[in-house]
Amino acid sequence: MNCSPAGVDLIKSMEACRLGAYQDQGGIWTIGWGHTGPEVTGGLVWTQDQADAALDADLAGRAAQLSPLVTAALGANQFSALLSLGYNIGMAALGGSSALRLANAGSFDAVPAAIAMWNKSRVNGVLQVNPGLVGRRAAEGALWTLADDAPPPFPNWNAIRAAAAAS
C-alpha cells in the first residue's frame, strides 16, 4: 500500500519544504520535505523537483517498511496516518508502538488516542509535551478517521494542528 493523496497532503503541511539544508531540533541535517540522510550536509541546496522526488522516494521506502508490519486490513488513510507517524518518529519506534498494535488488533477506535501519545520531545534533556507534536498527532488522528473516498480539498490540517496545540 502507498501513501494516500490525503496522507501526502498532511505530511507536506506538517513538514513544510525547505530547499536549503538545515539542522532540525535534534541537530540532524534535513532538506526538502523532512528528508535526512548522509548526503544532506550544510550548504546543500535542492530544486523543488528534487525535494518532491525525495519525498516520493522516502514515502515509498517507508511504506515498504510499514506494509509487512500491518496485519489488519486498513484503509488507505489509516495506513497513511501510521505512515505519517512513522515518518516523524521513525519506523523502528512505530514498529513497537501501541498505535500499530491496536491497529493490528482491529481496535480502530483506539488508534487516534495511541497516536496522540507521541506528543513529546526532549528540551534540555527533559521529555516535555511539544505543542507542535500535539497538533501533528491530532491531524494524524483525523486522517485515520477520514474516509478513503474523501475528495480534495482535504481537511485543513494546519487548523486541526493549531486547535489541538492551543488546547
Split the chain (167 residues) into runs of 10 and give each run's mean pLDDT. 97 95 91 96 98 98 98 98 96 97 98 98 90 96 97 94 92
Q: Which of 7, 8, 15, 79 is catalytic?
A: 15
Nearest 5°: CA angle at 102, between 61 and 136?
Answer: 60
Q: Which residues pair with 120 in a beta bridge?
A: 129
The predicted structure's pLDDT at residue 116: 98
Q: CA 148: distance to chain centroid?
A: 17
Nearest 5°: CA angle at 29, between 27 and 87?
Answer: 95
Return the residue matching grid coordinates 515518518.
87
The predicted structure's pLDDT at residue 26: 80
pTM above 0.85, yes or no: yes
Exposed (0-12), middle (13-18) or buried (19+): which is 162, by Cβ within 10 Å?
Answer: middle
Residue type, 127: L
Complete domains list, the chain, with CATH = 5-166 (1.10.530.40)
Sign of torsion over alpha carbons 129, 130, 135, 137: negative
- For the chain, the C-alpha Rg in angstroms (whole number) is 15
* DSSP H or E segment with residue 149: none
Residue 15 bears catalytic tag = yes
The predicted structure's pLDDT at residue 25: 79
